[in-house]
Structure 1
Amino acid sequence: MNEAALYNLAVSGLQQAIGAFIGLAGGIAVGGSFVAVFVVLDVLPRLAQLTGSYRLVQWFEYAMVLGTLTFTTLDFWYVQFKLGQWLPPIIGLLDGIFIGLVAAALTEVLNVLPILAKRLGMSTVLTYLLIAMVLGKICGSLFDWFVYRG
């Protein structure tokens, strides 16, 4: 190998190592934040209390950890399932129900938006803050569906 090829190989390897480090650091930060929110705010016990199934709270925790590990692994390996036409809407409905319950539990445990607006001095524009969050979520979803996965 000549000198230019070795240089390109070294730069490519360095770029891959930096990318892997950033990805791993980001994953640890997001995962740690996810766990911290659920543990510190007692979201799962509150979710169990809302649904009247407090005796199953440990199963909720197991399901969350197992689901996170399973689907992260499947995402890394680009596994795709052929589920037919009727199963994905059912899975989506169940996901939506879970997310709605978690949002309800978070809302009851912590009044996030009013506290955020007060701390940032944005109490007078709280409505605009909510609209901006909703529009940002919609734009992000549309970008993901049509551009990123397109």
Structure 2
Amino acid sequence: MNLVHDLLLVLIGLAGGVAVGSGFVAFITVLDIVPRLAQVTCTQSRVYLYEYVIGLGVLFFTWIDFRTLLLSLPHVFTAIFGLNMGIYVGMLAAALTEVVNVIPITARRLNMQEYMIYFLIAMALGKVTGSLVEWFLFQNF
């Protein structure tokens, strides 16, 4: 009975992983995130590197997730690692926002076309402020 239970858990885990992975790949592919990021950063000739890095990152962090690996790094390395993760998430969110045209549609619906620069600055400052508040007030060092 224990073997059947374990095999069922493996099957459910694989099915969930395939579903989430397929959704991630569809998200990246349909919205042309990687080519647009390469275009914005003027690195169109290195698109294959973006694809390899995304794939290796997913595999590496999936492997890390299955391990009980705890890294005790100095705060400087943690800050550098966190900064790079924040840059990646921010660029991915910016690319998604640009592809979906969220900002122009929102500005038009709120009748804020002439205040667009203030709208963008407020969004950026809000994100930075929220990140700093979370970092300094809610992190246990």
1:48–1:57: 8 Å Cα contact kept in structure 2?
yes
1:33 corresponds to which of 23, 28, 37: 23
Aligned equivalents of 1:89 and 1:79: distance in 2?
Answer: 19
- Counterparts of 1:1-150 in structure 2, within 5 Å, are 10=1, 12-111=2-101
CA deviations on 1:125-144 (whole Å, 9 max, x unpaired) are xxxxxxxxxxxxxxxxxxxx
Q: Mind listing any 5+ residue stretches in structure 1 that lack a counterpart?
A: 1-9, 116-122, 124-144, 146-150
Moved runs in structure 1, 4+ residues, more than 3 A? none
Aligned equivalents of 1:68 and 1:78: distance in 2?
Answer: 17
**Matched length:** 108
CA deviations on 1:35-79 (whole Å, 9 max, x unpaired) are 111112211010111222222221111110111111211221222
Q: CA deviation at 1:20?
A: 1.7
Structure-2 change in CA distance of 1:112 and 1:22 (3 Å): farther
| Structure of greater Rg | 1
Aligned equivalents of 2:72 and 2:30: distance in 1?
Answer: 38
Return the letter of the residue paired with 2:10: A
Identity of aligned pairs, percent? 45
Q: CA deviation at 1:23?
A: 1.2
1:44–1:57: 8 Å Cα contact kept in structure 2?
yes
1:48–1:56: 8 Å Cα contact kept in structure 2?
yes
Structure-2 change in CA distance of 1:18 and 1:107 (3 Å): same
Q: CA deviation at 1:105?
A: 0.9
